[in-house]
Amino acid sequence: MKVSQIIEALSLKVLAGESFLDREVCSGYCCDLLSRVMARGEKGMVWITVQTHMNIVAVATLIEMACIIIPEGIEVERKVLDKAEEEGVIILSSDLTAFELAGKLYQMGIVPVKVR
């Protein structure tokens, strides 16, 4: 499934990375602890997090994530979005909670990351 299909199905707002919406999503993960995301993350995953600081861009780049979804309409600072654009990181926004997003993604066929 492509990021663009998830955006359409869940009515997500694109905050950064609009040029890269054809990326394939392979799995999903919901976590706010960056060290755990780095340890468990997979290339091509969608990451749901309430974190909005600059380090989310670094983690997404390191893991080569498909995208980041920020739940609950949480605002992301312009400097973070600018850095995401520069690094080719897709950041999306939703008014849904992380729990609701994870459930909907699972129903759409997005599998959890593999536990290692």
Residue 43, domain CATH: 3.40.1390.20
CA distance 3 to 74: 20
Q: What is the mean pLDDT of the chain?
A: 96
> Cα dihedral angle (16, 58, 49, 29), rounded to 10 degrees?
110
The pLDDT assigned to 70 comes to 98
Q: pLDDT digit string (tens) for 40-92?
A: 999 999 999 999 999 999 999 999 999 999 999 999 999 999 999 999 999 99
Q: Is the pLDDT of residue 114 over 90?
A: no
Q: Is the pLDDT of residue 115 over 90?
A: no
Q: What Cα–Cα distance (Å) separates residue 26 from each residue in 3, 64, 65, 66, 111?
A: 10, 11, 9, 8, 7
Domain that holds residue 96: 3-112
| Overall pTM surpassing 0.85 (yes/no) | yes
Question: How many domains would you assign to the chain?
Answer: 1
CA–chain centroid gap for 78, Å, is 17
